[in-house]
């Protein structure tokens, strides 16, 4: 049984009209899972993390200014959301969701958050809709358990996991793997432990072959005790931001490949949904559902 982590606040964020972020998708995924027979008691709800927790890992100046609403306009524009009390509460809850997912994964072998993947957040600034880097925090949380030393972060969102790469740059106990669109944001890439930038228009066959080879390469260089998986679906052929051309079935095959990789290594895996920017929410939810299919939550 794969535990699921969700809070209604994931989708509760008033945004300006025509804002491109599809904030409704989180509730949409929850509703779609329930419509497929998942009962409400399968979902665990996180409580927001505190600023004090975040300042153990990130720059206190940044965390405190952002949480209290005094971060300057330029830094807020880089994040891409207008500041509000609600934005902060939502972000602190979403980050807590990924941490809870990491804890549940250690207990149950696998767990999935219905949000997460804030990989463009650095220690001292946020970027690209990301305020606080939940993937890095989840890795550090897993390492608090005595038997977990090495954590592999597999980031298959179409955008490079630049914040995660930078945060873990000097940390040999965290291996970062990013497969992304070479021409997609961020234009200035950071150095993950393993980076693969794919050309515009890359399709299923080349993509899946690349993922398979990259997983083998990561396994040869690093022996993970736990895995965090960012299953961004902005690789999809209909995505508004991604430059790749992956079918819905290709997304499923990718997620299944990662799942099988984790099971073969017999290590816990915590999954987050990552990016996905189709404007048709039902279509977008359907692509995100492939992760839950691959992990055996739904058929
Ligand atoms: Zn993305």
* Domain assignment of residue 155, given as a range: 4-294
Position 212 in a domain: yes
Number of structural domains in the chain: 1
On whether residue 59 sits in a domain, the answer given is: yes
Residue 170 inside a domain? The answer is: yes
Instruction: Render pLDDT for 9-59 as a digit per residue (tens, 0 to 9).
Output: 999 999 998 899 999 999 999 999 999 999 999 999 999 999 999 999 999
Give the per-residue pLDDT at 32: 98
**DSSP states of 91-113:** HHHHHHHHHHHHHHHHHHSEEEE
Whether residue 130 is contained in a domain is answered as: yes
Q: How far is the CA of 215 from the centre of ligand 1 (A)?
A: 20
* 81-111 confidence digits (pLDDT tens): 999 999 999 999 999 999 999 999 999 999 9
Burial of residue 281 (CB within 10 Å: 0-12, 13-18, 19+) is: middle
Average pLDDT, the chain: 98
Report CA(13)–ligand 1 centroid distance (Å): 19
173-to-40, 217, 226 alpha-carbon distances in Å: 36, 17, 11
Name the active-site residue from 7, 120, 180, 243: 120
Give the chain's length: 299
pLDDT of residue 227: 98
Q: Where are the alpha helices (DSSP H) in the chain?
A: 25-35, 51-55, 60-68, 73-79, 85-108, 134-142, 162-167, 204-221, 248-265, 281-294
pLDDT average, residue stretch 208-212? 98
Which pLDDT band, with edges at 50, 70 and 90, does 1 fall under?
confident
- Predicted confidence (pLDDT) per residue in 235-272, tens digit: 999 999 999 999 999 999 999 999 999 999 999 999 99
Residue 299 falls within a domain, yes or no?
A: no
**What's the rounded mean pLDDT across residues 220-232?**
98
- Backbone Cα Rg of the chain: 17
* pLDDT at site 112: 98
**Ligand 1 center to residue 156 CA distance, Å?**
9
Q: Is 7 an active-site residue?
A: no
> In degrees, to the nearest 5, what angle opens at C-alpha 22 toward C-alphas 81 and 299?
140
Residue 22 lies in a domain: yes
> How far apart are the CA of 278 and the centre of ligand 1, in A?
12
**CATH number for the domain including 103?**
3.40.800.20
């Amino acid at each position: 049984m794969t535990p699921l982590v969700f809070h209604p606040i994931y989708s509760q964020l008033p945004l300006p009209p025509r804002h491109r972020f599809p904030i409704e998708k989180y509730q949409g995924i929850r509703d779609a899972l329930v419509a497929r027979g998942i009962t409400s008691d399968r979902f665990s709800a996180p409580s927001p993390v505190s600023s004090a927790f975040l300042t153990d890992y990130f720059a206190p100046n940044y965390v405190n200014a952002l949480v209290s609403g005094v971060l300057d306009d330029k830094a807020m524009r880089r994040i891409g959301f207008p500041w509000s009390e609600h934005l902060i509460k939502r972000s602190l809850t979403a980050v807590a969701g990924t941490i809870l997912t990491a804890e549940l994964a250690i207990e149950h072998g696998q767990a999935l958050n219905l949000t997460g993947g804030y990989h463009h957040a650095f220690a001292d600034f946020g970027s690209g809709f990301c305020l606080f880097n939940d993937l890095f925090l989840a890795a550090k949380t897993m390492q608090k358990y005595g038997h977990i030393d090495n954590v592999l972060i597999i980031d298959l969102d179409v955008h490079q996991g630049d914040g995660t790469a930078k945060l873990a740059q000097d940390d040999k106990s965290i291996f970062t793997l990013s497969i992304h669109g070479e021409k997609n944001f961020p234009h200035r890439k950071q150095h993950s432990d393993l980076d693969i930038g794919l050309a515009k228009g890359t399709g299923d066959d080349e993509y899946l072959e690349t993922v398979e080879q990259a997983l083998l390469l990561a396994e040869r260089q690093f022996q993970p005790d736990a895995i965090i998986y960012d299953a961004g679906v902005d690789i999809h052929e209909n995505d508004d931001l991604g430059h790749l051309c992956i079918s819905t079935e290709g997304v499923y095959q990718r997620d299944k490949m990662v799942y099988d990789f984790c099971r073969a290594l017999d290590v816990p895996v915590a999954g987050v949904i990552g990016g996905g920017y189709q404007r048709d929410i039902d279509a977008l939810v359907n692509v995100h559902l492939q992760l839950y299919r691959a992990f055996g939550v739904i058929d």
